[in-house]
């Protein structure tokens, strides 16, 4: 693929959390005006207007809803907690259908004080329990492996291999993987596991941002593409070599960017997307 083929906005998607200070109607208007084509909506941005109304606003703007973020968090130390998670995941699936997307991203969860193996078993049980509901609603589920620094309370699934192995347990076309460079860039097996994921037709989403040095906050110090040490273009090449032709989703949680002018941030995202990812 040549640089000029890479360098256009036709597959640029932005997560609403990236421009956190913007309400949903502002984000939709600004993204569309900037030439962004896709939007991934975080659930908080549905709270005010609801998924039906937000879906309508997105379609009228010409944007496409790429996915709803996020479901998951299946593990809990008691049965009531696990049941509450299942109920909430059924609700996320219904919200996604009402919004007009066919993809929910799962941050699978973990609980400090119980083993990762137990959490993985609970994740497997949880996904197994909601699968019929997802299938009936036509909603695919993307397991997003998270960097191991989140293994204590956000996800017991931390590598592409684990995500692939997990999908193998189900062998179901509704269950796949969201590849996020922030979580996975360090993994020596990443290229081969991305290939494995593509071969199984389960690479559902691709998230981009950068890893800053030093990282000041474990959650909210993600960098703009090109500001950190991830070779995003190389990983994107591996992803696209599998046949993936979906959106490149900019997902940046950043206390420092959120404090700046969001219009300027959006311009910086476009520039970084074209030049550094």
DSSP string, 103-155: EEEEE-B--TTS-HHHHHHHHHHHHHHHHHHHHHHT-EEEE----GGGTTTTB
> What distance in Å separates the CA atoms of residue 186 and residue 193, rounded to the nearest whole number?
13
- State the number of binding residues for Zn ion (CB under 5 A): 3
Choice between 82 and 257, CB closer to Zn ion: 257
Please identify, among the stretches 18-26, 221-229, 236-244, 249-257, the one whose residues bind Zn ion according to the rule CB under 5 A. Answer: 249-257
Least separation, in Å, of the C-beta of 205 and Zn ion?
A: 8
> What's the closest the beta carbon of residue 6 comes to Zn ion, in angstroms?
21
Q: Give the Å distances, CA to CA, from 177 to 127, 164, 204, 248, 276.
A: 13, 8, 6, 14, 24
CB-wise, 187 or 251, nearer to Zn ion? 251
Piece of the chain touching Zn ion by CB under 5 A; list 35-43, 77-85, 173-181, 239-247: 173-181
Binders of Zn ion in range 204-233 (CB under 5 A): 207
Among 251, 262, 272, 273, binds Zn ion (CB under 5 A): 251
Shortest separation between residue 69's beta carbon and Zn ion, angstroms: 8
Piece in contact with Zn ion (CB under 5 A), picked from 16-24, 163-171, 199-207, 232-240: 199-207
Q: Which stretch binds Zn ion (CB under 5 A): 25-33, 185-193, 215-223, 243-251?
A: 243-251
If you ran DSSP here, which 8-state letter would residue 254 be given? Answer: B
The least CB distance from residue 39 to Zn ion, in Å, is 14
> Measured from the CB atom, is 227 or 251 closer to Zn ion?
251
Nearer to Zn ion, 82 or 164 (CB): 164
Among 277, 276, 272, 270, smallest CA distance to 9 is for 270
132 vs 255, which CB is nearer to Zn ion? 255
Which residues in 213-255 belong to E strands, given as ranges? 222-223, 248-250
Q: How far apart are CA 123 and CA 274, in angstroms?
A: 37
Under the criterion CB under 5 A, does residue 180 sit at the interface with Zn ion?
yes
162, 67, 161: which is closest to 123 by C-alpha?
A: 162
Q: Of the ranges 49-57, 79-87, 175-183, 189-197, which one interacts with Zn ion (CB under 5 A)?
A: 175-183
Q: Of 157, 46, 54, 48, nearest to 106 (Cα)?
A: 157
Quote the least distance from Cβ 238 to Zn ion, whole Å.
Answer: 17
Of 74 and 206, which CB lies nearer to Zn ion in the complex structure? 206
Q: Are 28 and 62 in contact (CB under 8 A)?
A: no
DSSP code at position 2: -
Residues that bind Zn ion (CB under 5 A): 180, 207, 251
């Amino acid at each position: 693929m040549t640089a000029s083929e890479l360098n256009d906005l036709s597959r640029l998607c932005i997560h609403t959390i990236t421009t956190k200070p913007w309400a949903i109607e502002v984000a939709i208007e600004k993204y569309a005006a900037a030439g962004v084509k896709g939007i991934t909506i975080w659930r908080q941005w549905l709270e005010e207007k609801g998924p039906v109304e937000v879906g309508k606003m997105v379609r009228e703007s010409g944007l496409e809803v790429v996915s709803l973020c996020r479901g998951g968090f299946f593990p809990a130390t008691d049965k009531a907690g696990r049941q509450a998670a299942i109920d909430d995941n059924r609700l996320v699936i219904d919200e996604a259908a009402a919004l007009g997307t066919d993809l929910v991203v799962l941050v699978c969860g973990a609980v400090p004080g119980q083993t990762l193996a137990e959490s993985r078993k609970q994740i497997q049980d949880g996904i197994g329990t909601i699968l019929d509901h997802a299938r009936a609603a036509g909603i695919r589920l993307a397991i997003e492996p998270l960097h191991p620094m989140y293994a204590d309370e956000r996800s017991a699934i931390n590598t592409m291999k684990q995500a692939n192995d997990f999908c193998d347990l189900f062998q179901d076309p509704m269950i796949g993987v969201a590849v996020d460079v922030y979580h996975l860039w360090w993994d020596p097996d990443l290229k081969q596991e991305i290939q494995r994921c593509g071969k199984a037709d389960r690479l559902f989403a691709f998230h981009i941002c950068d890893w800053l040095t030093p990282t000041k906050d474990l959650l909210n110090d993600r960098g703009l593409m090109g500001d950190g040490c991830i070779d995003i273009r190389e990983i994107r090449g591996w992803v696209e070599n599998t046949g993936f032709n979906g959106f490149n989703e900019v997902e940046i949680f950043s206390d420092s960017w959120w404090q700046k002018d969001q219009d300027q941030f959006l311009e910086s995202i476009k520039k970084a997307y074209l030049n550094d990812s």
